[in-house]
Amino acid sequence: MKFLHTSDWHLGRQFHNVSLLEDQQAVLAQIITYLQSNPVDALVIAGDIYDRSVPPTSAIELMNQFVDKVCGELATPVIIIPGNHDGAQRLGFAASQMKPSGLHIIANFDEMLKPVVITSDIGEVAFYGMPYNDPELVRHYSQQAVKDHDQAHQLLVEKISEQFQPQQKNVLLSHCFVDGAIESESERPLSIGGSDRVSHEHFRVFDYVALGHLHQPQKKGEEYIRYSGSLMKYSFSEQHQAKGMTLVELDSNGFKSATHIPLTAPHQMRIIEGELADLIEQGKTDPNNHDYLLARLMDKHAILDPMEKLRKVYPNVLHLEKPGMLIGVDQQMGKARLARGELDMFKDFFLEAKQEPLTAEQETAVSAIISQLTREQEA
Ligand SMILES: [Mn+2]
């Protein structure tokens, strides 16, 4: 029995005002290509299908095409739960009518207790989905005191495990923050002020737990309790993360193996760092010069229009930082340096604008003007 575990697609996401839809489309095409040559028994998506509860129509259209291909043409069942970014009710529209076609959207607590049972070479495997929930929702559903995410999960897992059948293996889909796991910058906190952490101990009763929410692929506590990580990078902090999906294999004893299958977005998100002139030189021969970039300029002097200059070689620089301007500046010193640095600042500006340095005569003249202005200000 083999299935693919993915999560955190965030279809329709914008990054620094750039739409990522084309990159997302390219990555979904890689999943389809993989499935065509490596058939599996199911594909599971552990939440955050869309980036927003009301996604743009272009994102819905992309998801529609994907489902047509995978459930329709390839006849591979797709099992989905909503994440904290999705609108569970909207995502769950007509879910019961779509089940016979192989699209299983588990968007409420009633559906959570009715597993999707897939018959495979090792017999029946039951897929339970826990739609993303906060403690308030679980309190309302269970009519019990539930104070945080951890208690909510404990209670829901208890309810699910009452449904276990002796002849079945059990897989859980959940969208949550397992205590001790590693965060990235592109996740939205599940709870402000309260505790959103969940112990992995609750999950030990399953043969595999397909987690969503954290964007870095990782396991927690056991080999079979895993985050697949997001479809692609969604922040510069993820530049070194290996994105992809997890191929899970179960055998008659339960969990057998988990293998990372890489997915590569056409534009990578990464950070380049150096002095402007060096970065421009490097950009001329950089084969990946169309990547989405954060540029950290280490120059210590002011530069006119650095973004425009960089974009001639790196057209998708999305953000600039200038840590070089701050090196050695602490609060007291910074003030002193700014006060006496007017002539130096003007020299930088002149060089940038005119492409030549001030002559000695010009420097004397500018100095005189600056001291005159300073005297007037102090008078
Ligand atoms: Mn997410």
CA of 233 to the centre of ligand 1 (A): 11
Task: For residues 54-76, give the mean pLDDT.
Answer: 97
**Predicted local distance difference test score (pLDDT) of residue 334:** 52
pLDDT at 192 over 80: no
Task: For residues 337-356, give the mean pLDDT.
Answer: 75
pLDDT at 342 over 90: no
| Spatial distance between the Cα atoms of 269 and 365, rounded to a whole number of angstroms | 47
Q: What is the pLDDT of residues 131-162, one digit of tens each?
A: 998 899 999 999 999 999 999 999 999 999 99
CA of 8 to the centre of ligand 1 (A): 4
Which is nearest to 42 in space by CA: 157, 119, 129?
119
CA of 226 to the centre of ligand 1 (A): 15
The fraction of the chain above a pLDDT of 90, given in percent, is 79
CA of 75 to the centre of ligand 1 (A): 27
CA of 83 to the centre of ligand 1 (A): 7
CA of 7 to the centre of ligand 1 (A): 8
**Predicted local distance difference test score (pLDDT) of residue 347:** 83
CA of 230 to the centre of ligand 1 (A): 7
**Predicted local distance difference test score (pLDDT) of residue 31:** 98
- Crossing angle of helices 149-161 and 135-142, in 10° steps, is 40
Give 143's contacts (C-beta < 8 A, 6+ positions apart).
none
**Predicted local distance difference test score (pLDDT) of residue 217:** 97
Confidence grade of residue 301 (pLDDT, cut at 50, 70, 90): confident
Task: For residues 114-123, give the mean pLDDT.
Answer: 97
More confident residue, 44 or 180: 44
CA of 84 to the centre of ligand 1 (A): 7
CA of 232 to the centre of ligand 1 (A): 11
**Predicted local distance difference test score (pLDDT) of residue 376:** 78
Task: For residues 198-208, give the mean pLDDT.
Answer: 96
Task: For residues 290-313, give the mean pLDDT.
Answer: 92
**Predicted local distance difference test score (pLDDT) of residue 333:** 53
Task: For residues 295-317, give the mean pLDDT.
Answer: 92
Average confidence score pLDDT of the chain:
92
CA of 214 to the centre of ligand 1 (A): 6
pLDDT at 346 over 90: no
- Between the alpha carbon of residue 11 and those of residues 21, 26, 66, 172, 260, the distances in Å are 7, 12, 12, 23, 21
CA of 45 to the centre of ligand 1 (A): 11
Instruction: Encode burial over 141-153: b for 16+ CB neighbours within 10 A, e otherwise.
Output: bbeeebebbbbbb
CA of 342 to the centre of ligand 1 (A): 47
More confident residue, 357 or 219: 219
| Spatial distance between the Cα atoms of 234 and 311, rounded to a whole number of angstroms | 21
Task: For residues 285-291, give the mean pLDDT.
Answer: 96
Strand 169-175 versus strand 123-130 pairing type: parallel
CA of 290 to the centre of ligand 1 (A): 25
CA of 210 to the centre of ligand 1 (A): 14
CA of 183 to the centre of ligand 1 (A): 11
pTM equals 0.85
| Spatial distance between the Cα atoms of 305 and 310, rounded to a whole number of angstroms | 9
pLDDT at 210 over 60: yes
CA of 64 to the centre of ligand 1 (A): 20
CA of 13 to the centre of ligand 1 (A): 11
Phi and psi angles of residue 212, each rounded to the nearest 5 degrees, phi first: -130, 165
CA of 368 to the centre of ligand 1 (A): 59
* Sign (positive or negative) of CA dihedral 271, 240, 14, 18: positive
pLDDT at 90 over 90: yes
CA of 106 to the centre of ligand 1 (A): 17
CA of 33 to the centre of ligand 1 (A): 24
CA of 231 to the centre of ligand 1 (A): 10
CA of 189 to the centre of ligand 1 (A): 10
pLDDT at 276 over 90: yes
| Spatial distance between the Cα atoms of 349 and 19, rounded to a whole number of angstroms | 35
CA of 85 to the centre of ligand 1 (A): 7
CA of 165 to the centre of ligand 1 (A): 32
Q: What is the pLDDT of residues 252-275, one digit of tens each?
A: 999 999 999 999 999 999 999 999
Task: For residues 190-211, give the mean pLDDT.
Answer: 91
Task: For residues 326-342, give the mean pLDDT.
Answer: 56
**Predicted local distance difference test score (pLDDT) of residue 109:** 94
CA of 177 to the centre of ligand 1 (A): 11
The fraction of the chain above a pLDDT of 70, given in percent, is 95
| Spatial distance between the Cα atoms of 81 and 365, rounded to a whole number of angstroms | 71
More confident residue, 17 or 191: 17
Do 305 and 61 form a contact (C-beta atoms < 8 A)?
no
Do 3 and 119 form a contact (C-beta atoms < 8 A)?
no
Count Cβ atoms below 10 Å from residue 340 Cβ, excluding itself: 9
**Predicted local distance difference test score (pLDDT) of residue 324:** 77
CA of 274 to the centre of ligand 1 (A): 32
Output 196-202 pairs: Cβ under 8 A, ≥24 positions apart. 196/148, 196/149, 197/149, 197/150, 198/149, 198/150, 198/153, 199/150, 199/153, 199/154, 200/225, 202/150, 202/153, 202/154, 202/157
Give 168's contacts (C-beta < 8 A, 6+ positions apart).
115, 117, 123, 124, 125, 126
- Between the alpha carbon of residue 276 and those of residues 95, 346, 362, the distances in Å are 53, 19, 27
**Predicted local distance difference test score (pLDDT) of residue 329:** 52
